[in-house]
Amino acid sequence: MKERRFNSADHFMIGIDSALRTLFGRPQVTERANPAETINEAEMSQQERDLAARLMRINHTGEVCAQALYQGQALTAKLPQIRDTMERAAQEENDHLAWCETRLNELDNRKSLLNPFWYAGSFMIGAAAGLAGDKWSLGFVAETEHQVEAHLNDHMQRIPAQDQKSLAILEQMKEDEIHHATVALEAGGANLPAPIKAAMKVTSKLMTKSVFYL
């Protein structure tokens, strides 16, 4: 049977479905298991649980932003193989989204109230990157993943030491982000100019500071 190729309208509707699933429903995940599901819950003080939850909420919103970036880029990507690369990466990021939400529930906490705002902004940035050309779009993916890797390293230092469940999730997320960056560069991603990298870091700081509280 011939494989169906989606047109622009199809990809737009798929994007709408993805946005609704990301913000309000259950995202479509891969076959991978949650890396924390076999780890027992540790004893933590309420203060430690609160800190862990706030950090995992930031990571959850980061994955909401990642979904939006990838969907925006996939919508405007020029080459079908680049679009396929973006959509596969987005599906793997959905695993992170689901894992973080599960951990938030276990910690008796909530997702960020600002998720719709950050999704919309990230989608527009992703679409703009895609319109700039596939090499720049892939370069944007690689730089995003490098910055997320640094951000995860910071959280792995701040998470309460006994919270091995959260740590296991962050470790797998870090491994995946490194892989996505490598794939993007090998597919022809360009090195972004320093001012764009700096602007991305400022935006990331705004997100993490606001989501820590909201």
CB 113 within 8 A of CB 168: no
CB 118 within 8 A of CB 207: yes
- Check whether 48 is labelled as a binding-site residue: no
Buried b (16+ CB within 10 A) or exposed e, 152-161: beebeeebbe
Distance from C-alpha of 99 to C-alpha of 29, rounded to nearest angstrom: 10
- Check whether 96 is labelled as a binding-site residue: yes
Question: Using CA of residue 111, residue 43, residue 99, residue 134, what is the dihedral sign?
Answer: positive
Which pair of tokens denotes residue 104? 């938030």
- Check whether 177 is labelled as a binding-site residue: yes
Distance from C-alpha of 153 to C-alpha of 27, rounded to nearest angstrom: 25
Q: Is 66 left (phi over 0), alpha (psi -120 to 50) or beta?
A: alpha
- Check whether 93 is labelled as a binding-site residue: yes
Q: Which of 71, 62, 126 is nearest to 99 (CA)?
A: 62
- Check whether 63 is labelled as a binding-site residue: yes
- Check whether 92 is labelled as a binding-site residue: no
Numbered residues of the known binding site: 63, 93, 96, 145, 177, 180
Annotated binding site for Fe cation: 63, 93, 96, 145, 177, 180
